[in-house]
Every structure is written in structure tokens, then in C-alpha cells.
Structure 1
């Protein structure tokens, strides 16, 4: 039997059994560093990119610490979106289904878009783990239906998103009802300045775990660039999807309006397309996520809501219809594919105005393959900055010629011709050398 390296954390048998069942035998870096801190009861801030296994970095040690004999709230986990909260909840359920009958752990998920009154009626028995969106957890607390004052652990997942979406005040009100010796665990891709006062209020000398990846994106991920060249970008997306014939592809746009436009265009062209963005009402979003999980769609058009935290399994291709204004979101988007050892392709359709952003991504370590779409599919093309390199070499040739043909104090007849002849000779020699190298 394969040795499970999680054994060294001395987890209960049901946790190790679940990990073996999932095929997880070695902790990721964030899990390696975070699990001992959580087990010790210390507060911590964890920063890592998407797809690094941070959910299990807090879920596993929290489950280890839950006392099944105490029927009261012992841990509260907040997430910015209903989809992410549901995802965390279902991951906990998968682990706890291996609990023995006498040590069952009760977990409940509280999110908007569900019947609040029915939820309140069911809270006669308090769960041991609460997962949910900050607003709904706060509402149930205000209604005096959910008693979170007994919980000594609070997790704030995707904290920068919670801040961006205006939910930090709700989290603040929830945290204020908890014990003074609260263990707070904050996970975030970035720590914005506006988040720091909240952290300072509840966390005294927290441990900080920052996983700065050696590679900004997965190694088994191919990054490709497709120039729009004044062609219809919607048509290019359509043709790219047909050329790739993906298992499952996500097309990312920057706005909800553009997501709708692209989805409508692809539907009109005969492709069955799913949509994930903030304009869908709770019922539509829940139905859409279920259809996606049931593999009813081969193509999904989404905003960055789907790039952070929401785990859509089996994504083989990501297409950036447009580059995000915050380039960190490029990493989040392409992180939806090439997960768990699988390969993936991330295609970006770019315009000349995207040049600065592409240069920044290259400085971040992204290596792009340059492609174009022809009738027979994708073909490799020259790099977009090859012409600039050629011009630079010609400038160098001119400088060399000027050093060889010194300008006399008195300009003699034929000086300019001689200079031009010398420059042409050097350029010709340079071209021959370049051909030999090729």
C-alpha cells in the first residue's frame, strides 16, 4: 500500500482514508506549511495562487480539531460567492462521509438565494462547522438563530474578493461576536491596504505563509497568443473553439455585458454555451453550476467570478477574449486548466494596444507561443516583436559602419556614398551570418 505523507500530521483515520480515496498522498507547499500552524491553534495569513490546495490546508486541521460530542458551532468558514461556499461545503462532506457513526461531524452551508425561514427552523440543532457567505451568516446571527459565539475558529477565504465585493463589514460583525482568543485564518491572493485595518483588529502577530510560485503558471500549460489583426474577435473565438474541439473550454471576458454578447454570438453560431457571471440570479446560477458539473456544456463564457475559487473540473482550454486589467487575474484564469497533473492550453486573443500587458506577463515568466488561425486550424507564426529586433540590428549595423568610416574634418566628394557602401556591406555580412545560424 502506498505510504501517505499526510500521516506525519497524526490525523484521525477517517481523514487519511479520505485522502487515500482522493489519491492525495503528499501535501502541497501551502498544506505543508499551514497545517501545523492551524493544528497549534495559531492565527495565520496564507497567500498562494489558485490551484495550490489551500482549501485542504485549513479544512483538514479544522476537522481534526472538531469535537463531535459538542453539539455547538466550533468553526465558521466565510467565502465571497455562493459557488465557492458550496464548493468548500461539498469538499468537507466528502471527507466527513468516512466518519464512524459515533463521531459524525455536522456541517451546514448558509448562502443567499435560499429560503431563510426554513433555514432558521432547521437551526434548532446547531451545526459544528458553518460554511457560507458573510451576509447570510450575519443575518442568521442577527436573527439569533445561529449561535456563533461558541466558535473559536474563523476562516476568511478569498479575503481580497470579500473586500472588493463589499462584504468585509459583514465579516467584521461576525468576528465581533466570537471569543477574544479567536483563531483567525485568512487566505487571499493579495493583501490590499484597505484589508489591513481589519486584519490588525482581530489578529495579533499572525503567522504569514506566502507561497511565491517558482513558475507563475503550471508547467504543463501551453500559453498561446493569437493576433486579432482587425478581424472579428467573436468570430476568432468561435473558430478557435472549433479548431481545438476541447473537452471543456472557458472563454473569459472582462465584463458581464461582454460575456452575454459573446455567449449570444456563439449560441447563434450553433454552439451550446454555458454562462457564469454576476448578472445571473441565484436560481439561474445554481442551475448553471449544476449543468456545468454534469458536463452539459463543452463551452463556458465567464467573467473573473469563475477564475477565483470556483472549481470547474475537467477544463482543458482557457481563452482570453480580452486581457484582464489586473494581470494577476491572468494567472487566476489560466489556473482553471492544467490542474492535478493534466495538460492545458491558454489562448489569448490580443490587439496592438495589449503590447505593454504582454511584455509584463513575459517578465512574470510566461512564455508565449505565437499562432494564427488558418482554414486548416492553428499555425505557428513569427514572434510579434521580431520586426523590432530586426530594426534594432540594422541600427547597430549603421553604428558599426560609422566607426569604420570616420568623417573627415573637411567633407570630401563621395563621402556619403562611401558611408552607404560600408553600411550595406556590413548588413549583407550580418544577413549571411543570420542565415548560417538558422
Structure 2
């Protein structure tokens, strides 16, 4: 199928062609017609499969012929968990709307709020926002949603993980009830499903791959190593394999700073990104890394979502994440749009529980490769995939339950007094019958 067959208008098709895309991804094939038909959608797909274009393209088309946003008003709101993802989504809107008379803007924290207040006075057709900064703007009466037609929650599970649920509820209370709702995510937890039930109106669920799976184009393996030897092994891998662009994940900001310092000492052109960096610094570092000016970028999970780099060849987990689902998002930075990628995890013995959780989540046991010269003193214990229990067919369960209930109802009925006597009589052992007119012979006493 081509983009032409999805019934997109010529200005959007022209922008897609200029971007170099020829055929829609599976998730785009499924969700674009549904969104154009006005349906509420909850969609799950692996990271890097084109979810952003999946909701951006139809939104642009639905807004193209509509009334332009008035002062302080917004026609479509897209909520994202991180600043980086907000900037990326806004950039996608810019690219795909290049031949349409639509306005767009991204608002997030870490930068001065006054320029955002001024810009919103003019009204925005598509506003991309992080929940915290959007609430700040709402409190300043900078933005209103009287004419809002569309709401998109992008990476909704991450927003819940980051504690944004109360903020999201406050925002939802200010939105009109009549609107089209779209929820996109790479993973779906029970909490997300509960949110969908409250937010969406008869939603159509779309998934192009099993939940919490990793892309087949990403080759994954583990290097067992002692914790104190991780930085040295990382430097060796970068030099020995001549990696020119590698994204490295650590669990903490302090750890990221230390790894970045160690890499620079070993001669690797490295930089660091995490929540303590200013937004300006984060934007600059990401731009330089995308442009290939930085060889190694060390990041906390702030970069696990929203970092879109074409042909990123390697991702390294220096520390395994606290939450197994974050592993899926981390390694989803490579192997995007069907490209081949590598995901390497340096695992010490104290991380075996995290490794076990990740393997159970993705349903795959990761290959272990010990690097010569970096053999761990404390071996990483073996892991075992959780056995999947076979479920019985529903109709058999129903039949069994019905029989149990029937038996219970029968047993609960109190028998009549006569029947009770008969039952007691039946339970008593019957005495042996004596022959008629037969004398009883007593044995003589010894």
C-alpha cells in the first residue's frame, strides 16, 4: 500500500515525498484510515515504527479545511512526557505541514515561559506540550480549549511512570467533552488500559506487534562483567569495534557524569545529557550527536523516549534500567524504521534480577558473551524464562462452573424429615440376618 491509497490530500503527500518516505509503516496503514473516519484510537507499536506520523498526518488533514485557531485557543493538543519528545513531535508537524496554512508550537519546561505566553496569544492550530508546563500556561490564562477538537496522548505509559497522571487529570477537566481522542504508546500496562476506559469513547484498539516486544532488526546480547570494570570495558568496546556513534544509558545522573568523564579521559569524544542539564545544553548536545560531532552520548532514561536518530547503530546499557519496560524503549533508539541495530548490555552479578525481569518481559533469553580480559570475578547467575501456562478454553470453564453451581444448589437444599431418617438409616451398617427357628449355641467357657 502507498500513501496515496490512504486518501491523504496532495499537500500532505507532497511533504511526505519530500521527506523521502515512499510506503507507510504497518501502524500507519492501520491507524490513519481510522483517525480520518473520526474514531477514537488506542494504538500500540514498537518504538521506531512511525507512530508520530501515524497520528500527525491524519490530524493535519482533518484540520486543513477547518476553522483556524483564534487568540489563545488550540485546535489540537498533543501531550508528551519529555521535552525532547515534544520537540521531536513538533518538528514532525513542521515537516508534514510545510504545504499547509496551519500553525504549530511546542511548550515545555527548562526555558523561559514569557516567550511561550506571547506566542500563544495568537492561537495555535496544533500545540505540543509537556503536562507540567501546560498547566503553568493554563494558570496564566495563556491558553484555552473551548474549540479543541483533538487530543493525543503520546507515550502515555511513560507519562504515568513519571507521575503525570494527576496533571493529566487536571488538564482533561478543562477540555471539552466532545473531541476525538488518540492514545499512542510502545507498551500498554494495566494502568494505561484503565486510563483508556475513562478517556476514550468506544476506542478501536490497534497493535502491529505483541506488547513489550523488541524489533527483530535489533541484535541483542549481554557482556557479563564486574561493576567496577564496566567503564573500562565500554572504552574497549568503542575503540576495538571502532564505533563512531553510540548511545549509552546509565541509571543515575551522577553515573552518567562519571562515565562521560571516564570516556573523555580515554580519548573518546563524549558528552552527557540528563535532567540537571539546562534545556539549551540538552538541545545543543542532541543536535551535535545527531550530526555525528559527538561520538558517544551518555544519557539517563530521559533520552529513552523521543530521541529519533536515523541509522543509530549501537545502544549500550551500562546499567540495566529499574523498570523492565524501559529496556524496550532504550534499545528502540536503534533499529528504527527497519534499520539494523545492536543493543549491548553490560551486566554485573547484582543485576541478575533486572536481567531476569527483562528476559521475561521480552520472552527471550539474551546471549551472554564474556570479553577476554574482562572476565567477571563474580559470575552472573543463570536466568530462566518464566513458563507460560496454557489457558483452558473459556467455554469449558463456563460448563464446569455451571455444573458446580448446580451441584451446590442441590446440596444446599434441606431434605425433608422422612428423607433425613432414610438417609441416616442407609448410612447405618445392616446387622447380619439370623436363620429362623435357629437356636443360638453358646460356646462353653474354658
Q: Tell me, yes or no, if structure 1 residue 80 matches structure 2 residue 81.
A: yes
Comparing 362-371 with 122-131, greater Cα deviation is found at 362-371
After superposition, the Cα gap between the structure-2 partners of 1:256 and 1:58, relative to the gap in structure 1 and judged at 3 Å, is same
2:247 maps to which of 227, 233, 250: 250
- SS at the partner of 1:300? strand
Q: Which runs of 4+ in 1 moved over 6 A?
A: 383-386
Could you give the per-residue CA deviations for residues 306-330 of structure 1, whole angstroms, max 9, x where no partner exists? 1223213332111111222322222
**Structure 2 length as normaliser, TM-score?**
0.76
Could you give the per-residue CA deviations for residues 150-185 of structure 1, whole angstroms, max 9, x where no partner exists? 111011111122122232333223222222112111
Aligned to 1:183: 180
1:128 maps to which of 125, 128, 151: 125
Kept in 1: contact 2:222–2:368 (CA 8 A): yes
Aligned to 1:302: 299
Aligned to 1:58: 55
Where do 5+ consecutive residues of structure 2 fail to align?
385-446
CA RMSD, 1 decimal: 2.8
Equivalent residues in 2 for 1:129-148, closer than 5 Å:
129-148=126-145
* Structure with bigger gyration radius: 2
Kept in 2: contact 1:226–1:371 (CA 8 A): yes
Aligned to 2:230: 233
CA distance in 1, matches of 2:359, 2:140: 52
Aligned to 1:373: 371
- SS at the partner of 2:292? coil
Kept in 2: contact 1:158–1:309 (CA 8 A): no
Kept in 1: contact 2:79–2:154 (CA 8 A): yes
Where do 5+ consecutive residues of structure 1 fail to align?
389-438
1:15 maps to which of 9, 12, 19: 12
Could you give the per-residue CA deviations for residues 336-387 of structure 1, whole angstroms, max 9, x where no partner exists? 1122343222222122344455456556354645434348xx99xxx9999x
CA distance in 1, matches of 2:352, 2:66: 60
CA distance in 1, matches of 2:197, 2:366: 41
After superposition, the Cα gap between the structure-2 partners of 1:246 and 1:170, relative to the gap in structure 1 and judged at 3 Å, is same
After superposition, the Cα gap between the structure-2 partners of 1:235 and 1:147, relative to the gap in structure 1 and judged at 3 Å, is same
Comparing 189-198 with 305-314, greater Cα deviation is found at 189-198
**Structure 1 length as normaliser, TM-score?**
0.78
- SS at the partner of 1:212? coil
Q: Tell me, yes or no, if structure 1 residue 153 matches structure 2 residue 154.
A: no
CA distance in 1, matches of 2:286, 2:227: 35
Equivalent residues in 2 for 1:32-431, closer than 5 Å:
32-67=29-64, 70-72=67-69, 73-99=74-100, 104-195=101-192, 198-213=195-210, 216-228=213-225, 232-355=229-352, 357-358=354-355, 361=358, 364-366=362-364, 368-374=366-372
CA distance in 2, matches of 1:385, 1:274: 33
CA distance in 1, matches of 2:162, 2:49: 23
Kept in 2: contact 1:156–1:186 (CA 8 A): yes
1:207 deviates by 1.6
CA distance in 2, matches of 1:31, 1:40: 14
CA distance in 2, matches of 1:215, 1:175: 27
Kept in 2: contact 1:248–1:314 (CA 8 A): no
After superposition, the Cα gap between the structure-2 partners of 1:36 and 1:201, relative to the gap in structure 1 and judged at 3 Å, is same
After superposition, the Cα gap between the structure-2 partners of 1:201 and 1:384, relative to the gap in structure 1 and judged at 3 Å, is closer
Aligned residues: 375
Kept in 1: contact 2:82–2:305 (CA 8 A): no
1:21 deviates by 2.4
